[in-house]
Amino acid sequence: MIISDKITAEVRMKEFKEMAYNNAILKDNKSDKEVKRPFLNKLISALSL
């Protein structure tokens, strides 16, 4: 049970990182770094919980 939960968490973490990477590329094309930072800070705080 614990092992499967850990694997699920790792998979979700990977998906979050891929999403964040894709969003960062999209935002890079559209906007300044100032706009991108709050998103990254929120993501980092969400992943560290």
CA atoms of 14 and 33, how far apart (whole Å): 23
Which pLDDT score, from 0 to 100, does residue 33 have? 54
C-alpha distance from residue 3 to each of 7, 8, 13, 34, 47 (Å): 6, 9, 15, 39, 19
Contact present, 23 and 39 (Cβ < 8 Å): yes
Which pLDDT score, from 0 to 100, does residue 1 have? 56
Which pLDDT score, from 0 to 100, does residue 10 have? 87
Which pLDDT score, from 0 to 100, does residue 48 have? 76
Which pLDDT score, from 0 to 100, does residue 34 have? 54
- Per-residue model confidence as pLDDT tens digits over 1-49: 577 888 888 888 899 888 888 887 777 666 555 555 677 778 778 887 6
